[in-house]
Amino acid sequence: MENSYPKLEIKELHKAPHWSKALGVGIVVMGLAIGTGELILWPHLITKYGPQLLWMALIGITFQYFINQEVARHALATGESFFTSSSRIFKWFAPFWLLSAVLLYIWPGWASTIGTILKELLGFGDHLLWAVASLLLVLVLTFTGKVAYTLLERSLKFTVPIFCGLLLINSFLTLSWDTIKEGIAGVFSFGYLPDGIDISILIGAIVFAGAGGLLNLCISLWYRDKQAGMGKYVGRVINPITGKTESVSFKGYTFQPDQKSMAHWKEWMRFIRLDQGIIFWLLGLITLVLLSLNAYAVLTPKGILPEGLNVAIAQAHIFGEHWGMFGFNSFLIMSALMLFSVMWTIIDAFARIVADILYVNSHTGPFKKYLGKIENISISQLYYGLVVVIVLTSMFFLPLKQPLALLTISAVLGGVVMAVYTPVLLYLNNFKLPKPLRPGIFTNMMMIIASLFYISATIIIANHYLLRALG
């Protein structure tokens, strides 16, 4: 077993729970979308270039819906993370995903943004001080909950609906029917591309029209902690301080696609499409469009073009136009809460991804001979230890300026990673799953188009930076 991963163990596929109990991962991913591209990057672009650019957001979030669905499909069918399944076909994927996670998520762009918002909201203190305080609060909350994922999901089930409700009220007060029609037209203005647009920021915004980067792949781990599909047999990440840890398997599982199992499988896939289609795709797209149009409607007539962190601050002024200081402060509070949830989720994702790769490969596979020394460390200990590491690392990088630049770097790197894993996911689900579990023609077509898009975007960005380097 040292040179290969173990075969999937056959178990019974259990019945999917009621949809109200099963939903949650879609809310987590939608929260990520609101706190990155929807709150920061897209309002910046739409205010600068107009609603005609919204068609690119539609493309980005639609591609990610299909990616999320296919990541969930493989996780439900095998109980494995994508990071293990992909390493079965090419062993060097394991260290590649590990390095990618580090390069993508060590940047403290979200902490810097939160710090600036809190300084504006409270009127005292330095933005670095508030950024450090927000990172320390992540540590406190992480070590308070019993099941790592459960506490995270509950916080977003509280934050996201309040944010969306506040946004709808403000949009009703702010947006005219003409602006709404302009926004709807922009969603379908396929092919429009303004002159002089920064291609790296545009690609970053498309990547962040949803989760982006490795965060889409972390869906396999979040569904596993919800014990969805064959993930029921793997085990969960439990706080070793507040709860009794569970035995977590480093093996994957599968089931015989008989009549009973296939009936359960269809129930699980309906749940995935509801969770990712309605909550992530539809509500995420509506939120993105409304946030962008609010910024466009109020700031553009005044000639205000927000840059960097001023995007979030400027949107607070949108609420202040109707509600005075209460509106201004309430938007800053909700922005800070949403961005904090995003930062917490990204820290969770980083720790979860790295812990999974280290844990599995310390027990089995071609890298066991290098990682065997940590075999006796549980995945829960790895996870919580890595949370501490990423928080301290983020604090170290906080003095760096330009959070928008940091978010853009992370998004561009995320696009490169997506160019790699989208075709791999397409291959896994069409050649490694039993035939009855494989995706249909339309899904495969969309995944092929998404693969070509991310590969093309990577080539464009590489040429862009190469030409810039050559002067």
Residue 226 lies in a domain: yes
CA 309 to chain centre: 20
β-pairing verdict for 253-254 and 9-10: parallel
- Is residue 441, in this structure, part of any structural domain at all? yes
Q: Which amino acid is at 133?
A: A
- Note whether residue 93 is domain-resident: yes
Q: What is the CATH number of the domain that holds 121?
A: 1.20.1740.10
For residues 317 and 329, what is the distance between their CA atoms, to the nearest angstrom? 9
Q: Which amino acid is at 457?
A: A
Asked if 54 and 189 touch (Cβ cutoff 8 Å), the reply is yes
Q: Which domain holds residue 402?
A: 9-469
Whether 350 maps to a domain, the answer reads yes
pLDDT-derived band at 331 (thresholds 50, 70, 90) equals: confident
Please classify residue 245 by burial: count the beta carbons closer than 10 Å to its beta carbon, then call 0-12 exposed, 13-18 middle and 19+ buried.
Answer: middle
Residue 29 clears pLDDT 90, i.e. is over it:
no
Q: How far apart are CA 290 and CA 311, in angstroms?
A: 14
Residue 155 placed within a domain: yes
**Residue 337 pLDDT level (bands cut at 50, 70, 90):** confident
The DSSP 8-state label assigned to residue 147 in this structure reads B
Please give the Cα distance from 176 to 255 (Å, whole number).
54
Q: Which of 340, 383, 350, 427 is nearest to 155 (CA)?
A: 340
Q: pLDDT tier at 383 (50, 70, 90 boundaries)?
A: very high
Q: How many domains does the chain have?
A: 1
Domain presence at residue 2 = no
Question: Distance between CA 72 and CA 85 in Å, rounded?
Answer: 13
- Torsional class of 409: left (φ above 0), alpha (ψ -120 to 50), beta (otherwise): alpha
Q: Round to whole Å and give the CA distance between 236 and 151.
A: 13
d(CA 142, CA 348): 9
Rounded distance between C-alpha atoms, residue 292 and residue 296, angstroms:
6
**pLDDT, averaged across the chain:** 85
SS3 67: helix
pLDDT digit string (tens) for 157-201? 888 888 888 788 878 878 889 999 999 999 999 988 888 777 767
Least reliable range by pLDDT among 7-21, 319-333, 397-411, 416-430: 397-411
Structure tokens belonging to residue 420: 């790699």
Q: Looking at the domain assignment, is residue 3 inside a domain?
A: no
118-169 pLDDT, tens per residue?
888 888 878 889 999 999 999 998 888 777 788 888 888 888 888 888 788 8
Higher pLDDT, 403 or 330: 330
Query: How many Å apart are CA 232 and CA 13, to the nearest integer?
Result: 9
- Distance of alpha carbon 160 from alpha carbon 418, whole angstroms: 26
Going by pLDDT thresholds of 50, 70 and 90, the confidence category of residue 243 is: low
Q: How far apart are CA 162 and CA 278, in angstroms?
A: 18
Q: DSSP letters along 289-320, please?
A: HHHHHHHHHHHGGGT----TTHHHHHHHHHHH
pLDDT in tens, 451-467: 998 888 888 777 766 66
DSSP H or E run through 254 = strand 253-254
Does residue 4 sit within a domain? no
Whether residue 265 contacts residue 13, with contact meaning beta carbons closer than 8 Å, is answered with yes
What size, in residues, is the chain? 471
User: Tens digits of per-residue pLDDT, 70-95?
Assistant: 999 999 999 999 999 999 999 999 99
Q: pLDDT > 90: what percent of the chain?
A: 41
d(CA 323, CA 267): 45
Nearest CA among 405, 410, 391, 411 for reference residue 111: 391
- pLDDT value of residue 19: 72
The helix, strand and coil proportions of the chain, stated in percent and rounded to the nearest 5, come to: 75, 0, 25
